């Protein structure tokens, strides 16, 4: 059975990358979380997808230019619905505490290439996960080759995943067969967009000893297709629905 990995939590049911979203994912039977981290002006790691908070809060500005105290003044839930009003941006530590309590199997943290302080972001992320005793479940994913290589330099045993495709050709080429980037980054997994996944790609990845976790899988036809192809993980906005459909594929083919 594929791992069901909640994309920014249960994003279809709660405001993305908030504690209520991850709590809902646990309730919905997710095997793990996918999330994103950024460094605040005062060096605190927080959970947010974008570099700025414009889309997911009632505030504006780039996270790197705001302190944690300033970020905590904004509401990260009301835009989604009144039930979530007053939700604050979570720190990485708060997210990790929830993940540890939930005993998740997969902790997929995506690191985006920051405008500056790349090494600080990587090192603080690895240190925080180690402090919570979750390193064995950690999977650092990124579109950035530089980040993936630096993670391996800092912590060779930490699993990494190459995200692709990307608008930056230098970051991942060729798109369909990322062989060169796999060798260059020494990654442990590939994370392709769903439309790029074929039976031959799955076979190649598994022959190379790579996991293949696919994003972002929400539609029934894609879920069924990818389950039958034998991918290792489905990164999804709706873990409850995705698990139900994946399980139905197994029952049907017994």
Give the catalytic positions in this structure.
7, 49
80 token code pair: 């989604």
221 token code pair: 């036809």
Neighbours of 152 (CB within 10 A): 18
Residues near 116 by Cβ (< 8 Å), separated by ≥ 6? 64
Quote the CA–CA distance of 153 and 4 in Å, as a whole number.
Answer: 29
160 token code pair: 């990494």
How far is CA 19 from each of CA 25, 157, 190, rounded to the nearest angstrom? Answer: 10, 28, 27
Quote the CA–CA distance of 6 and 52 in Å, as a whole number.
Answer: 22
Neighbours of 183 (CB within 10 A): 10
Residue 107's SS3 state is strand
How far is CA 47 from each of CA 146, 161, 220, rounded to the nearest angstrom? Answer: 21, 19, 29
């Amino acid at each position: 059975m594929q791992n069901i990995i909640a994309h920014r939590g249960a994003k279809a049911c709660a405001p993305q990358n908030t504690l209520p979203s991850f709590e809902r994912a646990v309730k919905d039977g997710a095997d793990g979380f996918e999330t994103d981290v950024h460094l605040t002006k005062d060096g605190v790691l927080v959970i947010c997808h974008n570099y700025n908070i414009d889309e997911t809060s009632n505030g504006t500005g780039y996270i790197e230019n705001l302190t944690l105290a300033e970020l905590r003044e904004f509401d990260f839930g009301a835009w989604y619905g009144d039930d979530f009003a007053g939700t604050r941006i979570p720190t990485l530590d708060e997210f990790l505490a929830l993940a540890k309590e939930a005993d998740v199997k997969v902790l997929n943290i995506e690191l985006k290439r920051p405008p500056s302080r790349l090494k600080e972001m990587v090192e603080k992320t690895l240190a925080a996960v180690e402090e919570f005793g979750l390193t064995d479940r950690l999977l650092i994913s990124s579109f950035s080759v530089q980040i993936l290589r630096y993670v391996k330099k800092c912590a060779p045993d930490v699993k990494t995943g190459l995200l692709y495709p990307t608008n930056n050709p230098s970051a991942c080429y060729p798109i369909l067969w990322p062989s060169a980037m796999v060798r260059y980054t020494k990654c442990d997994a590939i994370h392709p967009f769903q439309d790029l996944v074929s039976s031959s790609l799955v076979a190649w990845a598994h022959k190379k000893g790579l996991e293949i976790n696919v994003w972002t899988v929400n539609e029934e036809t894609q879920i069924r297709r990818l389950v039958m192809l034998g991918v290792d993980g489905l990164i999804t906005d709706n873990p409850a629905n995705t698990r139900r459909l994946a399980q139905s594929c197994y029952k049907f083919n017994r």
